Structure 1
């Protein structure tokens, strides 16, 4: 390898400072997405996935480099620079087409069963070892009605449609509507993938965490690194509900300590209080402090943790507000904010399809 180093084609000299091809290669390696039947590229989709990771990365690299040259042509180059950049675009797109043709030519020679394809398409990086089951499985079975249907339907959707799509989101909203109070179904959609969230001053602590849930649920569907954000916002929503119910909006005590106060014990039923306290122990505190996976190398939480954490926080939060007589006020406040276009300030948030 030292005697015969691999030669990479170099960009023709052009004025100014431009990213190296190595940087484009490293960027491409970070954005190709693994699926059951191969790797997806992003910049210029060839109409198929690549079983060979290296083909996918080199294809994406070539397309990104071609995109760079095209954007520079749009910026009014000199005639000499124009000629060089057109030649580079032609070379790079030709290389991308060659890789695509090689992939399509090799497919008939490969095994046609999914297991073999997965083995061939394995990432060159060590794969994370994920937790075997949700931390909230038992708690959800005790406190969420029809949780077995929710879990089985989510598993079916994940197997049938790897991208997070409207069908997944519609199912989550359908379940959410069965729990009293405001939730992801309270978002006001702008187009098919962006939303505003209703703002109310009195219930800001309750509503603000809910604002982020649809975005992070969609991100976590394709990348477990975002599951923690869902769990943290779900915990924040529950804490907001408990503080509102106890009339302790400015209390500095953490959620677990608040649930142990005499006021909480007098307000909430023993069953609801025990469930909320167990929620804090299982995922609320770990989402803030626990960064160790007992199987090592993988995420601390799995996607099912995100879904169940959200619905459990909604259930216990609604029970706390209902016990204090404020649940109907929350719903009315969210509806009034929507009628009068009062939303949290800032950019509309998206859901992400992968």
Structure 2
């Protein structure tokens, strides 16, 4: 795992870094059984919302839909457990997990920008690394936070989005970097939302959807993309399956 990613997690809680190192050594043949409990335990120690709110429908993970206000923050989180449970090799989905983790923390920063007085609408089109270098954000979030945001963007997120030729048989994005990057994005994301006074409302929206089993979903054989009129994102999973299954 890249030292920048390790430092972000270690600065927050060294115990979580040790737990993640242990999880990365597990032999995984079934994500739900073998790896998910370890990831959920780590996420429970980080304020905000992560794996602890996954809704299982048999072996398919669903993520709570918190409403349109918080959809940009939650939507990347929807796909990460889905990829992990897909049965694909973890090395093959590492890039996607890194990109989605970056999308989550970037949307957290953009939500924070909307809380400023006056709001910084011009920041909405900027990627994370550029956002972290804006003077007003450095002043508002603090130099330590923006330095970690910039570091994560540099060593993981930008590579996941823009670099494809490694010049060697080794992948550009390792699974350990991708999974570590997920938890780094969770840590930085909750810190940013907390500073913006958004965190409690976001978590409450996730909890409410989780308790009512309202999740992101898509009809089988349909892929309407992000068109909110093409299909309803809200679905009461209690009408589909019981959230119980033996391993």
Q: Same fold (TM over 0.5)?
A: yes
- Residue of structure 2 in register with 1:326 after alignment: 198
- Cα distance change, pair 332–223 in 1 and its aligned pair in 2 (3 A): closer
Q: Please state how far the C-alpha of 1:342 moved relative to its aligned partner.
A: 3.2
> Aligned pair 1:286/2:120, yes or no?
no
Compare 214-223 and 251-260 and name the one that shifted more: 214-223
Aligned pair 1:181/2:181, yes or no? no
1:194 maps to 2:60: yes
SS of the aligned residue for 1:293 comes to coil
Give the match for residue 230 of structure 2: none
TM-score (norm 2): 0.77
CA deviation vs aligned residue, 1:246-270 (integer Å, no higher than 9, x gap) = 1157811111112222331232132
- The SS at the match of 2:61 is strand
CA contact (8 A) 2:128 2:149 kept: no
Contact 2:102 2:153 in 1 (8 A): yes
| CA deviation vs aligned residue, 1:220-266 (integer Å, no higher than 9, x gap) | 87341210000000000001111111115781111111222233123
- 1:291-343 CA distances to partner (integer Å, 9 max, x unpaired)? 1325x022112111121010000000000000011100111111122344432
Distance 1:260 1:234, change over 3 A: same
Alignment check: 8 A CA contact 1:198 1:342 kept: yes
Matched, 1:299 2:171: yes
Q: In 2, are the aligned partners of 1:205 and 1:240 still within 8 Å (CA)?
A: yes
Answer 1 or 2: higher relative contact order, Cα 8 Å, separation at least 6. 2
Cα distance change, pair 306–291 in 1 and its aligned pair in 2 (3 A): same
**Which residue of structure 1 lines up, in the alignment, with residue 145 of structure 2?**
272
Of structures 1 and 2, the larger Rg is shown by: 1
Q: Confirm or deny that 1:145 pairs with 2:14.
A: yes
What aligned pairs does 1:227-266 form with structure 2 within 5 A after superposition?
227-247=94-114, 251-266=124-139
Query: What CA distance in whole angstroms lies between the structure 2 residues aligned with 1:256 and 1:237?
Result: 14
Name the CA shift for 1:280/1:242 in 2 (closer, same or farther; >3 Å). Answer: same
Q: Give the counterpart of 2:38 among 171, 175, 194.
A: 171
SS in 2 for 1:319: helix
CA gap 1:213/1:190 in 2 versus in 1, 3 angstroms: same
Which of structure 1's runs of 4+ aligned residues deviate more than 4 A? none
Cα offset, 1:143, TM superposition:
4.3
Q: Distance in 2 between matches of 1:322 and 1:221?
A: 35
For residue 315 of structure 1, give the secondary structure of its aligned residue in structure 2.
helix
How many aligned residue pairs are there?
Answer: 212
Aligned-residue CA RMSD (Å): 2.4
Q: Which residue number in structure 2 is paired with residue 69 of structure 1?
A: none
Pair 1:309 & 2:210 matched:
no
Is the contact between residue 184 and residue 211 of structure 1 (CA under 8 Å) also seen in structure 2? Answer: no
Mapped partners of 2:212, 2:98: distance in 1: 30
Name the CA shift for 1:165/1:345 in 2 (closer, same or farther; >3 Å). Answer: closer
Q: 1:143 to 1:275 in 2, by over 3 A?
A: farther
